[in-house]
């Protein structure tokens, strides 16, 4: 089997997930305009189709999330930080988290990112910059949503290094081993 995501792990644990998400049509419109210069009117499609998005998650030794809508790939190198447990967790939870992130959490999350230091000392907010200070009222686009979901997952792993996998109730796996 060909692997499209780089990895240095000696053992592959591959997972995938597909889900239909319900997102704000305005976020979809903003994203199409920003990335593809397409002026899409969600009203022409109507409810409930105007807010439907296909989420495709590909998770392997280096966990990656491919978003074909944005034509972007976020790669999480988690080989030494949980491997299979993290891949399973993301397979089960990431699509729901991507759908449910809330821009009101950005200021607090940005503060946490700055406390991490290191690489993040250079981070000025990127796609989250409009909401770093309280009061950002504009809609997020999908790039901001994906970035927020990435940091929410990272924050969750940092706060709680053990997770209970839904497929194995009561079984704990360390994400930091």
Question: 10-residue block means of pLDDT along the chain (177 residues)?
Answer: 40 75 93 92 91 84 43 41 72 89 94 87 90 85 92 78 41 36
pLDDT at 79: 41
CA distance 114 to 140: 21
pLDDT at 65: 44
pLDDT at 21: 92
This prediction's pTM: 0.71
Burial label for 172, CB within 10 Å (0-12, 13-18, 19+), is exposed
pLDDT at 40: 92
Burial label for 122, CB within 10 Å (0-12, 13-18, 19+), is exposed
CA distance 164 to 43: 41
Using the 8-state DSSP alphabet, how is residue 121 labeled? G
Indicate the domain borders of the chain: 15-174
pLDDT at 26: 94
Residue 85 CB contacts under 8 Å (≥ 6 apart), including other chains: 163, 165, 173, 174, 175
């Amino acid at each position: 089997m060909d692997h499209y995501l780089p990895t240095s792990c000696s053992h592959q644990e591959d997972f995938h997930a597909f889900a239909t998400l319900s997102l704000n049509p305005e976020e979809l419109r903003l994203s199409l305009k920003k990335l593809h210069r397409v002026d899409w009117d969600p009203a022409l499609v109507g409810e409930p189709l105007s807010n439907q998005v296909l989420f495709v998650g590909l998770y392997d030794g280096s966990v990656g999330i491919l978003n074909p809508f944005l034509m972007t790939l976020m790669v999480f190198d988690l080989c030494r930080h949980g491997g299979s447990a993290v891949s399973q967790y993301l397979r089960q939870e990431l699509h729901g988290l991507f759908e449910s992130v809330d821009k009101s959490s950005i200021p607090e999350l940005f503060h946490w990112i700055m406390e991490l230091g290191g690489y993040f000392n250079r981070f000025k907010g990127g796609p989250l910059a409009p909401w770093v200070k309280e009061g950002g009222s504009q809609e997020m686009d999908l790039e901001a949503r994906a970035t927020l979901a990435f940091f929410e997952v990272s924050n969750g792993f940092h706060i709680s290094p053990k997770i209970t996998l839904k497929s194995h109730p009561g079984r704990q796996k360390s994400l930091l081993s």
